[in-house]
Amino acid sequence: MPTAVLSPGYQAARTGVGLIAGTSGLIVLSGAERASYLQGLLTNDIVSLAKGTGCYAAYLTAQGRMISDLHVYELGDTILATTPRETKDVLLSKLDQFIFSEDVQLGDLTDTFTTLVLVGPGTEAALRHVLGAEIEGFAAAPLHSNRRVSVDGQTVVALRVSDPGVDGVALVVPAAYASTLADALRAQGAVDLTEGDADALRIEAGVPIFGRDMDTDTIPLEAGIEARAISFSKGCYVGQEVIIRVLHRGHGRVARKLVGLTCDPRAAVPAVGTAIMLDAATVGEITSSVWSPAMQRPVALGYVKRDYTLPETSLLTADGTRVVVSALPFTSASGTASARPE
């Protein structure tokens, strides 16, 4: 069984300030019609975004399946979209394909800019010391807020984020300046998170990521992201007909749903891709898994057929390990376990 001792990075994210090296794709859209152009393609309400605000959204096929998820930020003169790096090129290609006479220009900043993500209650203090008065109060700004600041003659775009599983701020910085800024943040107490630390925070918070918990076969309703990613009051977008049909005619019922799964504390962390069984029949699959410091047991995200999604449903992995369906998130924002099955 893994040790109960918290790693420095995980502990910093919960009680101080943690630093995560970002891997996002970065797409910029300029032109007077950038918002109205995205409005017809993405699931969320883009034209309602004022300067300094943003939203989470998805880009779907006509069949309602995901091409990618992304975050969209209106900076005032441009829109910045942060995407999974693996889908950035696909998104750029598709966005370019549908520009005809619209006043929209696309740019790829992925190789020239990078992201540094600060998480944890010490984020505000670290930012203030390094970025100065311009960033004052930003760590408590509404989710998806954005703000441009200047430091050492460099322009930095700050984004309010929660997808790491802990509230934080992502800094989009010129790639050549990233190591200098990261060192300055470490000097103010920021502790680097390992990939395992970051996975633990995200999975404990029940946050799915594209490429692991969502892919091109996923309908957003299956992943449970509709409350964050879909506007139900905007006009048409690609894939809307399928989403509305499932919600209205199917009463939101989909064949499978993403759920939380907990294991006995003495069990090994189940491998990603492990089948979930009931009476020798496969009813699901694990998509993300980790040893949870907050829960002191292995936890996982996975899809199960809709008849087995109720909390406390007991299932088995393919190797016979008992897993119990859990409501998400596993933990509160502070990292306190919201449920601790025995």
CA distances from 133 to 124, 125, 159, 283 (A): 11, 11, 16, 53
pLDDT (tens digit per residue) in 129-170: 999 999 999 999 999 999 999 999 999 999 999 999 999 999
Give the model's pLDDT for residue 339. 52
Q: Is 105 helix (H, G, I), strand (E, B) or coil?
A: strand
- Give 130-148 as a DSSP string: HH-GGGTTGGGSPTT-EEE
Mean pLDDT, 10 residues at a time, over the chain (342 residues)? 75 97 95 98 98 98 98 98 98 96 97 97 97 95 97 96 96 97 98 97 97 97 97 94 90 92 96 96 98 96 97 96 95 68 46
Q: Could you tell me what percent of the chain has a pLDDT over 90?
A: 92
Give the model's pLDDT for residue 35. 98
Give the model's pLDDT for residue 335. 72
Give the model's pLDDT for residue 172. 98
276 phi/psi in degrees, rounded to 5: -110, 130
Give the model's pLDDT for residue 338. 65
- Give 168-228 as a DSSP string: EEEEEEEGGGHHHHHHHHHHTT-EEPPHHHHHHHHHHTT---BTTTB-TT--HHHHT-HHH
Round to whole Å and give the CA distance between 152 and 147: 17
The domain spans of the chain are 8-201
CATH 3.90.1150.110 for domain 8-201, yes or no, is no
Give the model's pLDDT for residue 34. 98
Q: In whole angstroms, what separates CA 58 from the centre of its chain? A: 12
Give the model's pLDDT for residue 51. 98
Round to whole Å and give the CA distance between 76 and 183: 30
Round to whole Å and give the CA distance between 316 and 332: 26
Round to whole Å and give the CA distance between 232 and 244: 9
